Amino acid sequence: MSPNTSFTKATLSYPVYAADFDPYNRGYLLVGGGGGEGRSGVPNKISLLDVSSRSTLDTVAEADLTSQEDAVMTLANLASKDGLITFSGINSSEKERVADNNQHLRAFQVAYPKKKSQGSKKSEKQSKGNISFLSKTSLFTSPKNEIVKKDNYQRLLRLSPAQKRDGGHKRIGAIATGLNPESELVVFNATSNAPSEADVIYRIHPKEGADVNDVDIYEPSEGHFNVAYCTDRQVFIYDIAYDFRNKRATSVTSSNEFVPAYTLPFPDVFKGGPRPTIKYLRWLTPTHLLLCCNLPQRKGAELLVLHTHPTGPGEVILKKKLPTRIKAAGGMDVCSLDADPETGARQVVVAIAGHDIAIHVWTLDYSGPKTDTISRFRSCTTLQDVHPLQMTKVVFSPFYSPWPPKSKNGSAPKRPGPQYLQLASTSLGNTVVVDTFSLTPVAPKKPYSRYVLSTQKSALVNTGVPLFVAGFALLVTLMLLQSYLDLQSGGVGESNIQLLPQGLRDAFAKMQPKLPPGAREPVVQDEQATSSVIVEEPTASSMIVDEQTATSAIVDAMPDIDAIVSEVPGA
Spell out the domains of the chain, with CATH numbers in brackets: 5-115+127-402+418-463 (2.130.10.10)
The answer to whether 384 and 360 are in contact (CB under 8 A) is: no
For the ranges 107-116, 230-239, 390-399, which has the lowest average pLDDT? Answer: 107-116
Burial (CB count within 10 angstroms: exposed 0-12, middle 13-18, buried 19+), residue 359: buried
> How big is the chain, counted in residues?
571
Instruction: Report d(CA 473, CA 205) in Å as an integer.
Output: 67
The answer to whether 46 and 432 are in contact (CB under 8 A) is: no
For the ranges 20-34, 278-292, 385-399, 483-497, which has the lowest average pLDDT? Answer: 483-497
pLDDT at 470: 81
3-state DSSP call for residue 144?
A: coil
Q: Which residue has the higher pLDDT, 561 or 347?
A: 347
pLDDT at 555: 47
Tens digits of residue pLDDT in 84-117: 999 999 999 999 999 999 999 999 999 999 876 6
pLDDT at 519: 56
pLDDT for residue 351 is more than 70: yes
Instruction: Report d(CA 399, CA 416) in Å as an integer.
Output: 14
pLDDT at 552: 54
Tens digits of residue pLDDT in 490-506: 666 666 677 767 677 67
pLDDT for residue 547 is more than 60: no
* Residue 294, C-beta contacts closer than 8 angstroms, at least 6 positions apart: 276, 277, 279, 300, 301, 328, 329
Q: Which residue has the higher pLDDT, 479 or 49?
A: 49
Mean pLDDT in residue range 328-339: 97
pLDDT tier at 514 (50, 70, 90 boundaries)? Answer: low
pLDDT for residue 365 is more than 80: yes
Tens digits of residue pLDDT in 451-474: 999 875 554 444 456 677 788 888
Mean pLDDT in residue range 244-251: 92
Show contacts of 339-347: CB within 8 Å, 24+ apart: 339/368, 339/401, 339/450, 340/368, 340/442, 340/450, 341/448, 341/450, 343/367, 343/368, 343/370, 344/368, 344/369, 344/370, 345/450, 346/450, 347/450, 347/451, 347/452, 347/453
pLDDT for residue 542 is more than 60: no
Instruction: Report d(CA 249, CA 270) in Å as an integer.
Output: 48
pLDDT at 336: 98
pLDDT at 548: 53
- Number of helices (H), then strands (E), belonging to the chain: the values are 7, 30
Q: Which residue has the higher pLDDT, 547 or 103?
A: 103
pLDDT for residue 531 is more than 50: no
Q: Give me the percent of the chain exceeding a pLDDT of 70.
A: 80
The answer to whether 376 and 295 are in contact (CB under 8 A) is: no
Strands of 378-383's sheet in order across: 329-336, 346-354, 359-366, 378-383
Instruction: Report d(CA 394, CA 360) in Å as an integer.
Output: 11
Q: Which residues, listed in sequence order, are joined to residue 365 by a DSSP beta bridge?
A: 347
3-state DSSP call for residue 568?
A: coil
Angle at 96 between CA 203 and CA 100, to 5 degrees: 40
Angle at 231 between CA 228 and CA 233, to 5 degrees: 115
pLDDT tier at 257 (50, 70, 90 boundaries)? Answer: low
Mean pLDDT in residue range 232-242: 95
Q: What is the mean pLDDT of the chain?
A: 86
3-state DSSP call for residue 516?
A: coil
- DSSP E strand stretches across 115-233: 130-137, 153-159, 172-178, 185-189, 200-204, 214-221, 224-230
Q: Give me the percent of the chain exceeding a pLDDT of 90.
A: 64
Q: Is the dihedral of CA 382, 386, 390, 396 positive or negative?
A: negative
